[in-house]
Amino acid sequence: MTGDLRHPIFARLYPRMDAATARAGGADHRAELLKGATGRALEIGAGHGANFAHYPPGVTGAVALEPEPTLRARAEEAAARAPVPVAVRAGTAEDLDLDDASFDVAIASLVLCSVRDPVRVLAELRRVLRPGGELRYYEHVRGDTPGMVRYQRYADLVWHHLAAGCRVARPTGQWIAGAGFTVVRERRFIFPESRVPNPAGPHLIGVAVRD
Ligand SMILES: C[S@@+](CC[C@H](N)C(=O)[O-])C[C@H]1O[C@@H](n2cnc3c(N)ncnc32)[C@H](O)[C@@H]1O
């Protein structure tokens, strides 16, 4: 795993933005993401640890990686309150300093939009998951109409400068399906619902099993 990625302004704003999103339904999405997860868990790009409170009791312990130091400090506070043991560590998801087949479940939540190389990250997640292990994902993704995709591509010209490298037009669902996983459950929805289309509106919540 490599060093820190610093986004100090985003790191200060994101927990507040996420609190508002949580009240609008984001907390329910996180609970849906994690419902029924069991065993040893790896979460990448854990941010300020918004998922930790939703880890179910079947999770025996978790490693949570976060490369942004301010967010990582917040994640450490959240880990102290979490219902299961969570070890927060520095690290980017493209190069996991973790053993092959050493996790039962991997969690990617609002992060495959932001990593530098999502295909490589998925290969790394596949490597560290045991055969039959689960990738649980909650991601905003490329829209499913040509008009939306065009809009997202325009938005991406500026979006990633404002949101710490986040891109809205990524076909993350297709990448997951092509990365050695079988999708066993997936729900597609727009969030938040708004009159003006939000380029980051199309979302997926799903579970894919490592082949
Ligand atoms: C939008 S935030 C989401 C945080 C958290 N996963 C959540 O659900 O609230 C994106 C996160 O991805 C992290 N990130 C960016 N590039 C990364 C990388 N290459 N590897 C791992 N995490 C990364 C950022 O530091 C940030 O915490």
Please report, for residues 31, 67, 91, 143, 182, the alpha-carbon distance to residue 95 in angstroms, rounded to integers and kept in the order given. 28, 12, 8, 29, 23
* Test site for ligand 1: of 55, 107, 114, most ligand atoms within 8 A of the Cβ: 114
pLDDT band at 2 (very low <50, low <70, confident <90, very high): low
CB of 109 closer than 6 angstroms to any ligand 1 atom: yes
Q: How far is the CA of 3 from the centre of ligand 1 (A)?
A: 14
Closest ligand 1 atom to the C-alpha of 45?
22
CB of 44 closer than 6 angstroms to any ligand 1 atom: yes
The model's pLDDT over 11-66, given as tens digits with 9 standing for 90+, comes to 999 999 999 999 999 999 999 999 999 999 999 999 999 999 999 999 999 999 99
Domains of the chain with CATH codes: 8-210 (3.40.50.150)
Q: Which two tokens stand for residue 34?
A: 């994690």
Is residue 202 over pLDDT 70? Answer: yes
Q: How far is the CA of 209 from the centre of ligand 1 (A)?
A: 22
Q: Which two tokens stand for residue 170?
A: 């990524």
What's the whole-number mean pLDDT along residues 58-80? 98
CB of 150 closer than 6 angstroms to any ligand 1 atom: no
Taking the whole predicted model, whether its pTM rises above 0.75 is answered as: yes
Please report, for residues 33, 115, 133, 211, the alpha-carbon distance to residue 182 in angstroms, rounded to integers and kept in the order given. 17, 22, 11, 7
Helix (H) or strand (E) run with residue 174 in it? helix 172-177
Q: Is the link from the previous residue into 192 a cis peptide, with omega within 30 of 0? A: yes
Give the pairing type, strands 103-109 and 129-140: parallel
Q: Using CA atoms, how far apart are residues 108 and 106, in angstroms rounded to an integer?
A: 7
